[in-house]
Chains A and B, each alone.
Chain A
């Protein structure tokens, strides 16, 4: 009977998923969606401040750090009477080529203004290579702080700001506070504010003694 032993595993699993749905691994995607991990890296968004101004200052640090060379940024002078971003300079061109992007999040880490962060949106497929190049108009969040849904993106699972905003971690500390080095935080993009840092990231500090996430918005 030895050659039938292998089938026991198959039969057990088969019976298991029909009697106990908690053991089932496959899902009826896309009708059902699996919850994504906290730091899941999806497509980027360009954030704005509460007053609607863009956070991007066109400094190109994201493009400079990008290992896949998928970001193209050019700055320009802000019109002092009708500025796009605070300060002298704004991102005039901002493009990400998703045929090249490896979602490493280094751009997010490099950004001095938390202008670029990632969402957890990942379900997009293109029939035209040009569609894969997201322009600034497509990346910038809408007035409610939500990413814009583009025609080739599948949002069938809906968009839940709490669940679909990627947590991010910087080699430096979030918000410039040295005590928070190595902690995960969430960008304070328009509409979502701050959330608590992910705890337990620093090995030698017990979770209940770890510092609180700073709650000031933006920079």
Chain B
């Protein structure tokens, strides 16, 4: 303990307020397993042996100022702001608390004169070159440098010389600006890019007083995670283009919510000013996103602010144009058509596709409308690009934390996590690099896990089950082949195997995935599964009942408990999206409701989707933006989007978290549940579906024991960790179909249709900063396949299958396996789905130079 007299009036910023969302700057929660006693400012504390002093102090209410330290990244001790006097028995000395692990009987003084002087000095040095342009800086008002200068700074500068000058903001990427004058070289952004994101595209360049953070020449900072550097920058050096000069931080009012751009379910804050959402920030959910977000999620609000948003319902008029009408007219017409369809051809002539964009409450309202009021079981939240509902719910049970638990082995059969579930990729990356998790990947191309896998096994589309059989049954016990290494890793894991399944390829039937699952379940009975489907609330929509044969709460219709809320169930089991679209194309569907779904853009067989929509007399689209399918609809009902509705959403683990309304929907757009509720009354005046989202949620949660915790404490999803539910875990998996692959043909290439983070999706196209990020479609071939065809860079090739052909530029790419051609889904220039027919196991194509 220092003998220096303590300055009792030493300034001290308050530790972050408990009611403010934790955006990742507070220490992560820990359990004390190895307690030691330390003395901080005269107070005796019990802390975890070996944890960093800065964390131990903050957790016990003593905030030590810092710039470079971030609890989710390795400490570097760059900024020297966290220097405190530490006495470990040899007398007090100034040491950076972010680099010192606590040890027994350590004595710490955070407020001594020496500490105050050093804080003064560090800030004076930082401000020697930091411009005082706070009034125009986007960080001004929430800036750690500004706050700490007021709290710990000298008040006046003795530095009268000219500050250093650089060109004001330079573009690091499509979304991030860099102002080098403001940079204090804390190493946070560069550490994030390198350590967390694995995209070391920004770095310190030059030396001494010319040191600056910049990209490599001609290489933009095109990381999917670049927005996080803006959030963690302790000054205004990195700012986000979509937020640039839009508002000052004190204009913003904040509500915590959950991102619904993919099924990871990252916690975010929704921040708005004057009824317009202007920013999302990541919230530190220890079990999900650790405060990180992907750029698609972070800047997703732009789409909902877009002038293209639907503000009122549209109905096709006499000339065949969609024209705005009043809600009573649109709902009246929709109810009329549904009633007429039920009367003339029975309830099965009405079908509902979609619901995964909705909240659980919206999906439940629509499921109840379809299954009890209308009486049809033709409901599916998936668009032929997922897995059977029984598999999605029945297989699951593995959480992200369990998937990434130290020392485990993961068998990855899912889609490219970097492109479809970006934040899950960050968690996996951390698990592999820091926690010794080993990943075995089986797939037809190299994914974002490229540097992380312990072993990758190449398998052409359709061949994964065969590869798995080899791995578990016939693989050689030793040898240095990839197969042997992978088999050894999997054997070592034994029953503690974590498997991620999904649909990595839209041109490969779900039957192949089901067969892989069945092989795994018989070989490794203890294996636990995570179903990694990209669509945001697909799991919640299925649990709410938007799947053929299922009632809410993940029970099959035949076992559904009949209650007041759920009085009747459809007599016959319906079909999924593929079945619905086939029936529609054959003229057996009279009314097709598209609940935020766009089959023309998303269903793997595009021509079937087009035929189905054309042959259905009444297509009702419930959508926030006019997507390709809504443009073909007869009735378009403008729905409220994310940030405009209250409710809950369920992520791929089955975790239920709250989404919150922050702003009002544009025009007269209204929430999905309210549209369903209105329609129900118009179809049958005796019915009342639900008076509010909260009432619907309570009703749904009362239907299944899986929601016991939610039914007891309906406010619990609003916490950052949400509530993990087990709805549907008891469901029987569907029978394994017989998968027959076409005969091998050495002239054919097998088609992979994979997804990219930035594609031509309706929401992305409506976002200013992201719209330009989608690439054009390219056919990727292995160099060994490309050479005989004579493919140079950008040679146009014609791909022909039994179902059609597309012509597009081709490129040799050694991340693609031999015998495979990869085309990404929904990119400009070519739509590979015209090669695919629904129901085919795999799709073989011939390639020729066009």
Binding site for B on A (CB under 8 A): 57-61, 63-64, 74-77, 87-89, 92, 112-113
Binding site for A on B (CB under 8 A): 133, 135-136, 140, 168-169, 244-248, 250-251
Does the CB pair A61–B168 fall under 8 Å? no
Which interface residue of A59, A87, A112 has the most chain B CB atoms within 10 A?
A: A59
Does the CB pair B169–A88 fall under 8 Å? yes
Question: In the complex, how many angstroms separate the beta carbon of A206 from the nearest chain B beta carbon?
Answer: 27
Does the CB pair A60–B244 fall under 8 Å? no
Does the CB pair A88–B136 fall under 8 Å? yes
- Bound together, the chains give a CA A61 to CA B244 distance in angstroms of 17
- Bound together, the chains give a CA A77 to CA B177 distance in angstroms of 13
Does the CB pair A89–B247 fall under 8 Å? no
Interchain Cβ contacts under 8 Å between A and B, 12 examples: A59-B136, A60-B250, A64-B248, A64-B250, A64-B251, A74-B245, A74-B246, A74-B247, A75-B136, A76-B245, A88-B245, A113-B135
Question: In the complex, how many angstroms separate the beta carbon of B249 from the nearest chain A beta carbon?
Answer: 10
- Bound together, the chains give a CA A96 to CA B178 distance in angstroms of 33
CB nearest to A64 among chain B residues: B250
Question: In the complex, how many angstroms separate the beta carbon of A54 from the nearest chain B beta carbon?
Answer: 13
Question: In the complex, how many angstroms separate the beta carbon of A78 from the nearest chain B beta carbon?
Answer: 10
Given contacts A60-B251, A88-B169, contact A112 B245 (CB under 8 A): no
Does the CB pair B248–A59 fall under 8 Å? yes
Residues of B within 8 A of A75 (CB): 136, 245
Residue among A61, A74, A77, A92 making CB contact with B135, cutoff 8 Å: A61
- Bound together, the chains give a CA A113 to CA B133 distance in angstroms of 11
Does the CB pair B244–A77 fall under 8 Å? yes
Residues of A within 8 A of B248 (CB): 59-60, 64
Residues of B contacting A: mostly: loop
Question: In the complex, how many angstroms separate the beta carbon of A125 from the nearest chain B beta carbon?
Answer: 29
CB nearest to B273 among chain A residues: A74
Which interface residue of B133, B168, B248 has the most chain A CB atoms within 10 A?
A: B248
Given contacts A60-B251, A64-B250, contact A87 B245 (CB under 8 A): no
- Bound together, the chains give a CA A64 to CA B248 distance in angstroms of 9
Residues of B within 8 A of A57 (CB): 135-136
Does the CB pair B245–A89 fall under 8 Å? yes
Question: In the complex, how many angstroms separate the beta carbon of A173 from the nearest chain B beta carbon?
Answer: 13
Question: In the complex, how many angstroms separate the beta carbon of A218 from the nearest chain B beta carbon?
Answer: 15
Residue among B136, B250, B251 making CB contact with A89, cutoff 8 Å: B136
Residues of B within 8 A of A88 (CB): 136, 168-169, 245
Residues of A within 8 A of B245 (CB): 58, 74-77, 88-89, 92
Question: In the complex, how many angstroms separate the beta carbon of B236 from the nearest chain A beta carbon?
Answer: 11
- Bound together, the chains give a CA A77 to CA B250 distance in angstroms of 19
CB nearest to B141 among chain A residues: A64
Residues of B within 8 A of A59 (CB): 135-136, 140, 248
Residues of A within 8 A of B133 (CB): 87
- Bound together, the chains give a CA A89 to CA B433 distance in angstroms of 43
Question: In the complex, how many angstroms separate the beta carbon of B646 from the nearest chain A beta carbon?
Answer: 27
Question: In the complex, how many angstroms separate the beta carbon of A55 from the nearest chain B beta carbon?
Answer: 12
Question: In the complex, how many angstroms separate the beta carbon of A80 from the nearest chain B beta carbon?
Answer: 9
Residues of A within 8 A of B247 (CB): 60, 74
Residues of A within 8 A of B140 (CB): 59
CB nearest to B179 among chain A residues: A88
CB nearest to A58 among chain B residues: B245
Which interface residue of B136, B168, B251 has the most chain A CB atoms within 10 A?
A: B136
CB nearest to A77 among chain B residues: B245
- Bound together, the chains give a CA A113 to CA B246 distance in angstroms of 20
- Bound together, the chains give a CA A77 to CA B168 distance in angstroms of 12
- Bound together, the chains give a CA A60 to CA B246 distance in angstroms of 11
Question: In the complex, how many angstroms separate the beta carbon of B662 from the nearest chain A beta carbon?
Answer: 19
- Bound together, the chains give a CA A59 to CA B244 distance in angstroms of 12
- Bound together, the chains give a CA A92 to CA B244 distance in angstroms of 13
Given contacts A58-B245, A75-B245, A77-B244, contact A87 B136 (CB under 8 A): yes
- Bound together, the chains give a CA A194 to CA B136 distance in angstroms of 26
Q: A64-B248, A75-B245, A77-B244 are in contact. List 7 more A-B contacts (CB 8 A).
A: A59-B135, A59-B136, A60-B248, A63-B251, A64-B251, A87-B133, A92-B245
Which 4 pairs of residues, A with B, have the shortest CB-CB distance? A59-B135, A75-B245, A89-B136, A60-B248
- Bound together, the chains give a CA A88 to CA B138 distance in angstroms of 11
Residues of B within 8 A of A112 (CB): 135
- Bound together, the chains give a CA A77 to CA B247 distance in angstroms of 12
Question: In the complex, how many angstroms separate the beta carbon of A99 from the nearest chain B beta carbon?
Answer: 18
Question: In the complex, how many angstroms separate the beta carbon of B469 from the nearest chain A beta carbon?
Answer: 60
Residues of A within 8 A of B251 (CB): 60, 63-64
- Bound together, the chains give a CA A74 to CA B140 distance in angstroms of 15
Which interface residue of B135, B169, B247 has the most chain A CB atoms within 10 A?
A: B135
- Bound together, the chains give a CA A87 to CA B136 distance in angstroms of 8
- Bound together, the chains give a CA A57 to CA B136 distance in angstroms of 7
Residues of A within 8 A of B244 (CB): 77
CB nearest to A80 among chain B residues: B168
Question: In the complex, how many angstroms separate the beta carbon of B237 from the nearest chain A beta carbon?
Answer: 14
CB nearest to B250 among chain A residues: A64
Residues of B within 8 A of A63 (CB): 251
- Bound together, the chains give a CA A63 to CA B246 distance in angstroms of 14
CB nearest to B244 among chain A residues: A77
Residues of A within 8 A of B250 (CB): 60, 64
Question: In the complex, how many angstroms separate the beta carbon of B154 from the nearest chain A beta carbon?
Answer: 14
